[in-house]
Amino acid sequence: MSQLRYFATGSEFESERECLSILEQLFDYVTRRSLVQLGVSKGWRCCEIGAGGGSITRWLAEVVGPSR
């Protein structure tokens, strides 16, 4: 029986993660600015659906997080 390995290991994953990191650095400010202009704030419920490394999801969690 062959041994299974996690799909996101190795140089391919690391290379893709590096590309996503660069894209986040270049373009996240545009997305964040748009969301702020839209009025995203504490108490909102958001569903972030998109490709990427998760930086916008983490940012949204900080901005709209629990208000208790």
- Residues 28/59, Cβ–Cβ less than 8 Å: yes
Per-residue confidence (pLDDT) for residue 64, from 0 to 100: 94
Whether residue 1 is contained in a domain is answered as no
Across the chain, the runs of DSSP E, i.e. the strands, are none
Whether residue 3 is contained in a domain is answered as no
- What is the rounded CA–CA span in Å between residue 55 and residue 20? 10
Count up the domains in the chain and report the number. 1
Q: What are phi and psi of 51, to 5 degrees?
A: -85, 155
Domain enclosing residue 15, as ranges: 11-64
Per-residue model confidence as pLDDT tens for the chain (68 residues): 567 666 666 677 788 888 999 999 999 999 999 999 999 999 999 888 877 889 999 999 999 987 65
Cα atoms in the 13 Å half-sphere on the side-chain side of 38: 14
Whether residue 46 is contained in a domain is answered as yes
Whether residue 35 is contained in a domain is answered as yes
Whether residue 55 is contained in a domain is answered as yes
Alpha helices in 2-54 (DSSP H): 11-38
Whether residue 25 is contained in a domain is answered as yes
